[in-house]
Amino acid sequence: MKPFTVHRGIVAALNRANVDTDQIIPKQFLKRIQRTGFGEFLFYDWKHRLDGSINPDFELNQPQFAGATILLAGTNFGCGSSREHAPWALLDFGFRCIIAPSFSDIFFNNCLQNGMLPVRLTETEVAQLFELCKTTPGFSLTVDLTNQRISDEAGNDFRFDMDAFRRHCLLNGLDEIGLTNQFEDHIRMYEQSRI
């Protein structure tokens, strides 16, 4: 897993609540058996019209968001299906960090497993960021996981929470299976105690 320490990038705004994983990666693209190559299918049904042409009205098709690596979203982002294809698609498309007032549990965990940082800020803070994104050309943020801070060039600064264990794993790009395997003796003892 690629470590996440400090990331600076353009912010794309998707000001909608309850964006579900069916929208992030529609089901017709779930049949691949690899982890890669999902980026071109990200938000496919919103990005494209029925005839396959680009839908210019969709937020992420706006030219000012080209090259964005930070996604700003509404409440309950990533709800619905547990498909990890959703964070795979976001990551493959280029996003490294998602900021929202709340996330679904499974999606939040899935991001962490892939070195993509989900950041919870308050609704007021997210509303402020949406406003800044609207009014500041090329709005960018610096996301600093070491110090758990998000800041822009104008001096706006937000603190976010992340539990120490997940933070440690992200900062160091650790493989969780490898970590759990260090407790092999405990697992074996637990299994023996239950026979």
Partner 1 sequence: MARTLYQKIWDNHIVHQSSGEPAILYIDCHLVHEVTSPQAFAGLRMAARKVRRPDLTYATVDHNVPTWSRSLPITDPVAKAQVDALVRSCAEFEIPLYGLDNPNQGIVHVIGPELGLTQPGMTIVCGDSHTSTHGAFGALAFGIGTSEVEHVLATQCLRQFPSKTMQIQINGKLRTGVTAKDVILFIIRTIGTDGATGYVIEYTGATIADFSMEERMTVCNMSIEAGARAGMIGPDETTFAYLKNRVMVPQGSEFDEALTRWKTLATDPDASFDRQVDFDVSALAPQVSWGTSPGMVTDVTGTIPDPASFAREEQRRSAERALEYMGLRPGTRVQDIGIDRVFIGSCTNSRIEDLRAAARTAQHKHVNSRVHAMVVPGSQRIKRQAEEEGLADIFRNAGFEWRESGCSMCLGMNSDTLNPGERCASTSNRNFEGRQGRNGRTHLVSPAMAAAAAIAGHFVDVRNWEETA
Binding site for partner 1 (CB under 8 A): 16-18, 20, 22-23, 26-28, 30-35, 45, 50, 74-76, 79-84, 87, 102, 104-106, 109-110, 113-114, 163-165, 176-177, 179-181, 183, 186-187, 190-191
- Least spacing, CB of residue 95 vs partner 1, in Å: 17
Element (H, E) at 6: strand 6-14
- Least spacing, CB of residue 91 vs partner 1, in Å: 12
Which residue number, 26 or 94, has a Cβ lying nearer to partner 1? 26
- Least spacing, CB of residue 138 vs partner 1, in Å: 26
Which residue number, 146 or 165, has a Cβ lying nearer to partner 1? 165
Which residue number, 154 or 191, has a Cβ lying nearer to partner 1? 191
- Least spacing, CB of residue 82 vs partner 1, in Å: 4
Which residue number, 157 or 175, has a Cβ lying nearer to partner 1? 175
Which residue number, 154 or 164, has a Cβ lying nearer to partner 1? 164
- Least spacing, CB of residue 83 vs partner 1, in Å: 7
Tracing tokens 């074996």 back to the chain, one arrives at 188
Asked if residue 44 lies in contact with residue 26, where contact means CB atoms within 8 angstroms, the answer is yes
Which residues fall within 8 angstroms of residue 12, CB to CB, at 6 or more apart?
59, 60, 65, 68, 70, 71, 72
Write the burial class of residue 189 (CB in 10 Å: 0-12 exposed, 13-18 middle, 19+ buried): exposed
Torsion angles phi and psi, residue 48, rounded to 5: -115, 145
Rounded Cα distance between 113 and 35, Å, is 13
List the structure tokens of 60: 């992420």
Asked if residue 183 lies in contact with residue 125, where contact means CB atoms within 8 angstroms, the answer is no
